[in-house]
Structures are given as C-alpha cells and as structure tokens.
Amino acid sequence: MDSLRTYREKRDFRVTSEPSGAGRARHRKAGARFVIHKHDATRLHYDLRLEHDGVLWSWAVTRGPSLDPSEKRLAVHVEDHPLDYASFEGVIPKGQYGAGAVIVWDDGEWIPESDPVAAVKKGHLSFELKGNKLNGAWHLVRLRARPKEKRDNWLLIKSDDSFAERKGDILEDAPESVKSGATIEEVGEGKKKPRQRAARKAPAKKARAKKAKTKKHRSASLKFIPPCLARLEQTPPVGDDWLHEVKFDGYRMQALISGDDVRLLTRTGLDWTERFGAAIPAELRELDCDSAIVDGEIMVLDSKGVSNFAELQLALTENRTEKFLFYAFDLLQLVGADLRKEPLLDRKERLRDLFAGTDEQATVRFSEHFDESGKTMLQHACRMGLEGVISKRAAAPYRSGRTGDWIKSKCTLRQEFVITGYLPSEKTGRGLRSLVVGYREDGKLKPAGHVGTGFSTPVADDLLKRMKKLKTETSPYEGAAAREKRVVWIKPELVAEIEFRTWTRDGNIRHASFQGLREDKPADEVVMEKPGPKTKAAKAKPAAKDKAPTAGAKAKPAEVKAGTIVLSSPDKKLWPDEGVTKKDLLDYYVTVWPRMEPFFVNRPLALVRAPGGIDGQRFFQKHALPGTPKSVLRMNDPEDNEELLYVESFEGVAALVQLGVVEIHIWGSKTKDIEKPDQIVFDLDPDEGLGFDDVRKAALEVRAHLDDLGLPNLVKTTGGKGLHVVVPLKPKADWATVKTFSHDFAQAMAQQQPDRYTSTLSKKARKGRIFIDYLRNGKGATAVAPYSSRARKGATMAMPITWEMVEDGVNPADYAIGSKGLATRLKAKDPWADFYARGKALDIK
C-alpha cells in the first residue's frame, strides 16, 4: 500500500509548490533525518517529521516542542510526507490543505532506541535528536483514544537529560528558520531575508556624557594611559617567550599615584576612586614611591578564593568596600620615568620590588605569573573555577590597544553584551523573566538571544529599575528581531557581562547566565568576541622565568594528594547539612574501591557535578569540558563518533572528586565491547504515595520471575527511594535485543498486575503504582554506578546488598558516608563478588 496516498489526495500539485513525492527517495537507514516545520496555517503549530522507510512520519505538535521535561505537548499523528518535503519552505496557497507559511525551524538526525515500527505500534517511541536547536532524548507516547475520537493523539515529552531546560522558551528564543534564517512572518510576506533599514544612532553618547560629570582625573604630571588589551584565542600560545597569569574576573583599573593623591581610573578613563572605598587608595599611598602608574584589576574573592564578578557587583550594590582587592600586574610609570618601552618581564620585576613590603593578605597585592606552560596553566585555572588565563609576551613593550602582545584563553565563553530589552515575568512575585541582549557589528546592533538566569531577586529588581528608566517604543534591531512579541525595549546603554556555553549557528548564545553590569565599558564598543588564529611562538630570545607562585597570588589552599591528583579545597562541604567534604568523599572511594572497580573502570560515564555543594547549582556532564583532567579519558563511539568519558584507574575517581562530581552513572557495557551490554538493570521507581516496603516486595517479585527464566540476579539500593535489580550477562546480545527483552519483561509484569505495576513512563500511568523502568537498557542510557554517592540529603550511596537483606526489610538510608550501617556492610562479605562469574548469555527465541 502506498503510504503517501493520503498525502497526495489532500493536495493539488498544480497549485501548491509542495513536493508530490513522485520521485520517492530510497530508504537509507532507520532514524536518518528529522525536520520540524513551523507552520502558520489556521493555527500556528509545529510539524515533527521523522524519516523511516522512505517517508517522513509526521506529528502536528500544536504548541511546539518544549525543553522542559514537565511540559507534555500534544502531538497529533498525521499522514506520512515524502522525503523531499524535509527541505520544503514557502507558502501553501489559500484554498489548499494547510494554507499558510512554512519554514524549516529545525533539522538534523534522529536515532530510535529500539525498532521504531514496533515502538510506534506499542505506542511509545523513544529516540534521540541531534539537531540545530533540539538535542538529547525524547519520547512520543500515544494517548488512549476517547469515545468517537478520530485523531491519533500522542504526547511529545523531553527526557530529563543534559539538554533539558526548565527556564526560557526555545520557540521564542530561536524563532528563525535553520535553512534560510527567515522568520515565519517574513516567508509569509514573501521576504526570505530580513529587510535592512538605516542604522539607528545609538543614544548612548548622551548617557556617557552625563556620567562623565563624575570627575575624571587629568593630573598635569600623571595622565591616563589607554590600556593594553588581550585578544581572545581558543588556546594559550606556546613557547618560552610567553608568561602566563590568572585571568581575573573583575574591573580593569589603572592606579595613578602622585604623593597622597591616588586615583583609580577605569579602562576608559572614568574616575571610580570613591566607588571602591578608602582601603585600596590608602594602601597604594604606602608604597615606597613618590609617583607611579600601576595597571591592575579590582575584584572580590568568593568562598573558594576565586575572583567572582557577581560577588563584585553585589559588594558594589551593598557598599561592602572591605571586600575589594586590587591585584597589580604591570607598571607603566615610576617616579616620572616612562617604563612602557621596557620588556614586560623587567616591568614586572620593578613592580614586584615596589610591592615587596606588602603581605599576602593585604588589600593591594602583586599578581604573579606562572612557571608552567600555557596549556597546563589553563587546565589548572579551569579546574579551580577561574575564568581563564592571560598570556603575555615576556619581552614586549606596553602598547595600548589590542596588539596581540596579550592573549586571553577562557574556560567558558564569556563577554559583554548590550541589554536591548527584557521580557517581564508571567509569575507572581518576580518581575523579570529574561534579558534581551545584542552586540555591535558594522555599526548596527545584532541580536544575541535571551539571558534568563544568573540574577537573584535583588539584582533583578535593580535591573528592572534601571531598565524602566530607559524604556522606549522602538526596537534597536532590524528585521525579525525587531518584531519579537512581549519584549519591553530599552535604549541600548546598559552593558552586561554574560557567561554562556556556545554560539548557535544563527548567532544566538545558549545556556547564558548574567554575571553583572559592566559600567566601565561603553555600549557602542561591545562587539562579538571571536577567537583568532593560534598565535605562533616568537623567535625572540627566551625570557627568564620567575619562581612559580600559588594561583592568584593568594594563600595556597590546603591540598590532598591521590596519586598525581591534587585535591584542592578538601574541606569544601559537598553535603553541607551532613558536613561531608571533598576529602570525606575521596576517603570513602578509597575504602570501597576494591569492590567498586570491576563495575566502574572502562565504562562510558555520565556525571552529576555540584562544585558548590548539592544545595548549589548542579549540572549533568557526558562530554569533556575545559579543565577535565587527563586521568578522565576520552573515546569516540565507533558508530556515531560521539565523545564518551571513562576512567581506568583510581586516579580517575580522584579527579572526578576534584571536579565536584557527586553522582557517577555508567553504561551497561564496556568501552572495548561497547555494542554488547553485560548487564540488565530494572529500576523500581515508586509513585510518591508508595513506601519503600512496596518497592522491597516488588523487587522480590522481579527476582522470582527472573528465577523462573533461569536468569541470575542481584540487587542494590539506589541511594534514593528505589531499588535496582541487576542481571549479569555474558556480553553476547546487542543493545536492541537487551532492550526488547527488558521492555517485554516489564510489560508482562504490568499486564499481570496492572493495579501494582506499570511499564509506561508517564506520571499519570504511575499513580499508585511502581514503574518498572526498563529504559536504562538502551544504548547510551545509564544507571547509577554501584557504590556511587548520590546528590541527596543524607549523603547516601548506591549499595550492593543481599536478597536476604531485602527480605528482612533493609533501610537504604543506613548506607551513607560516615554511617555505622555503611561500615558494617563493608566489613561483611561482598554480595557482588561473583557478579561476572554468574553472567549468562541472553538467549531470546
């Protein structure tokens, strides 16, 4: 039967420019292309299309996809579309089926977790998307048909993985086509590209002139010198002719010292002396010189001893001047002598001598450089949570501007943006949902997207007060960005420091976080910072090296060594309420390592990190980030070339602790045989109204059914409210076979006792039941590793136990770091000692 028959019957191809599908393409492989069309028909909606067997399976998603796992979007299963519809973009004429504008909102590759035909037939299709806007794991779940219901209704649900986002709206943040860059409105009007208007004159000059009334110092003897600026590159330069310093996260400041007269000037020459209190000028007056011009940075250190721009902003807002520190890194003039033509290393030697009388805890400090390669320095900086590294030519003079003598390399992407508007919050009690930001290019403002995190309530309130004073009816942008709905536009005068993960292909920033306002930089100077080509090592005579100091020229933190890993901040409390520190976690892994090692090494990992403790920000990591230690190894999946992380020794575990990893999740296969799983995991996840006794009884029933099938089985606590029943396998069957078996097993139990169990993911199906989660048995899915800690109250961990303990009423809360229950369990016989010896091939007939 021709699956495109319905599609063709609905359309007159003499009128519409939609493809007829007459030249039907050959099927390449299951789960090749996907596309999402944004379709402005009778009602605006989004069409999800998945390639399979030479056609595009299609669902009309009425409200569009959401990155929030709690948002379930209705998706109506509609007729198959031809493959060449994937690139269709245009206007369907009036009178035709689906009349209206269509754009390619997203496209890429989709990968089903199991046989897609069987999954659709059963009503639960799980898959991964690798697109320009949508990524990670997704689910299509069929709804039970109502009486006389003709539509085939499904739900589109985002999995709770590293690509999930609970703030912001991807539909609003990225409305344009990934094919043409046009919006749905522009295509509807017949304009493929945004119209170009005459550039608006930036109104920032008046504001700067007004600010300039705050006194600007122009002493007859000491004049402001425009600073040397760093050029952004992806990696630090190599060679002995470079020295490397910490990149501070503060305000660049030039100190002009003339006897008792001390002025602190911003990078543009504004006098901010009074803003930072009396302590810094007082200590600069005590330096042993009559006059000097010192280049440096004012910052605030956070609880980890790391410079933090958000903390600096808070200190300025609250007038807490005692928190400010001035780090000096260059000397431009001394007692009337201009030092700018001298080599940097000579200038730093003079600066060091000038600061020789200050101690390490002074408010004014000398900024050391490091006796390490730039690459190693950047790794250390990223590991410590610093912003990055500044590399400087040791023999270069001091030249104003961005000359290439200074190179900056960052751990994360970060730069200034102009605030052009904001979205008010729809939630009661909070006035700010997100900032709209941009940058200048060729004299015009270009949109860079939205920033919806990083501001506390006081900061958000302060921002709103400032922005309301700048409110305007006119957008500073051209084209589609100027027509964004619900935005309150403001004059482009405020500059914000923004940290973000990456630039999208359409020029927006992703995973952006507000760090603070930059009042020291004019809005009309904000441009996109693009890493330049890697700087080659100069052939100049190698400069002498200084003695290596501690990071940031501050007191060295306590250190704990594990192999070649140095554990910084060992007293950092990862579980604050329980008082469990980094060192406690490392000591725990030392104790359990002989038992943990067989289930942990040489397996792809997924990590939950909480560098500030479990009460702070957490994030999920599957791939290497800047600063990831070498003992955390990388490999590429042979099938799709995706980068995977794994470790092969305890040094790797210690490195994870150093990174603030509080949960370790593992694949069910090893790196050397990645397509053949060696275990099956059934995760028993109870509804909120059920107790652990219900889970315990369910685990015993799962064991009984596995015993009937002749399959070995073991059990472990999860560190939460569930249990894992684990089946050791000889790695013979592939992922599809294992996934099919685990699904059928879970479904059979649910069918036998539908009042007690469900094999359906949705929360509605779980009500009063235990979800037998078989989804951890697909390729790329993970389960918490045996003996791993959990990011939960109590500092519990996933603990292998005996079936006798389950029968007797085990309490998972007994197994916590430092508890007597844990000590007793580890003294007893290892219940999983023969795990691999018991493995059996999965023989499905």
pLDDT tens string 168-189 = 788 987 888 888 888 898 888 8
In this prediction, residue 430 has a pLDDT band, given cuts at 50, 70 and 90, of low
Nearest to 547 by CA among 369, 393, 381, 395: 369
- The tokens 């790329």 sit on which residue? 780
Choose between 485 and 699: higher pLDDT: 699
In this prediction, residue 85 has a pLDDT band, given cuts at 50, 70 and 90, of very high
CATH fold of 216-404, please?
Answer: D-amino Acid Aminotransferase; Chain A, domain 1 (3.30.470)
Q: What is the pLDDT of residue 760?
A: 81
Task: Label residue 824 exposed, middle or buried (CB < 10 Å: 0-12, 13-18, 19+).
Answer: exposed
CA distance 281 to 326: 10
In this prediction, residue 530 has a pLDDT band, given cuts at 50, 70 and 90, of low
Contact 605/645 with Cβ under 8 angstroms? yes
Terminal CA-to-CA distance of the chain, rounded, Å?
30
Q: What is the pLDDT of residue 516?
A: 87
Write the CATH number of the domain with boundaries 559-672.
Answer: 3.90.920.10
Q: What is the pLDDT of residue 550?
A: 30
Q: What is the pLDDT of residue 830?
A: 92
Domains 216-404 and 559-672 share a fold: no
Instruction: Say what percent of the chain tops pLDDT 90.
Output: 42
Write the CATH number of the domain with boundaries 413-525.
Answer: 2.40.50.140
Least confident of 294-308, 481-495, 716-730: 294-308
CA distance 509 to 300: 27
DSSP label of 476: S
CA distance 781 to 736: 12
CA distance 628 to 620: 14
Cross-sheet strand order for the sheet of 231-232: 231-232, 406-410, 388-393, 242-247
**pLDDT reading at 555 higher than 60:** no
In this prediction, residue 360 has a pLDDT band, given cuts at 50, 70 and 90, of low
Choose between 724 and 211: higher pLDDT: 724
In this prediction, residue 104 has a pLDDT band, given cuts at 50, 70 and 90, of very high
CA distance 841 to 845: 12
Active site (catalytic) residues: 247
Nearest to 71 by CA among 168, 174, 209: 168
Q: What is the pLDDT of residue 820?
A: 87
Write the CATH number of the domain with boundaries 679-827.
Answer: 3.90.920.10
Q: What is the pLDDT of residue 269?
A: 86
CA distance 595 to 273: 60
Q: What is the pLDDT of residue 427?
A: 63
Structure-block tokens of residue 118: 């069987």
Q: What is the pLDDT of residue 61?
A: 93
DSSP label of 551: G
- The backbone torsions φ and ψ at residue 291, rounded to the nearest 5 degrees and listed phi first, read -155, 150
Q: What is the pLDDT of residue 212?
A: 32
Residue 421, C-beta contacts closer than 8 angstroms, at least 6 positions apart: 435, 436, 475, 487, 488, 489, 490
- The tokens 């994937």 sit on which residue? 86
CB atoms within 10 A of CB 796: 24
Residue 449, C-beta contacts closer than 8 angstroms, at least 6 positions apart: 173, 174, 436, 437, 504, 508, 509, 510, 512
CA-angle at 196, arms to 194 and 199, nearest 5°? 135
Least confident of 294-303, 545-554, 634-643, 816-825: 545-554
**pLDDT reading at 596 higher than 60:** yes
- The backbone torsions φ and ψ at residue 161, rounded to the nearest 5 degrees and listed phi first, read -125, -165
Choose between 836 and 525: higher pLDDT: 836
Instruction: Say what percent of the chain tops pLDDT 70.
Output: 87
Choose between 212 and 775: higher pLDDT: 775
Q: What is the pLDDT of residue 261?
A: 92
> Element (H or E) spanning 120, and its range?
helix 116-122
Structure-block tokens of residue 285: 């007056």
User: Could you tell me which residues are beta bridge partners of residue 646?
Assistant: 633
pLDDT tens string 265-316 = 998 888 899 999 999 999 999 888 889 999 999 999 877 777 888 788 888 8
Q: What is the pLDDT of residue 388?
A: 85
pLDDT tens string 809-829 = 888 888 999 888 888 888 899
Q: Domain locations in the chain?
A: 5-188, 216-404, 413-525, 559-672, 679-827
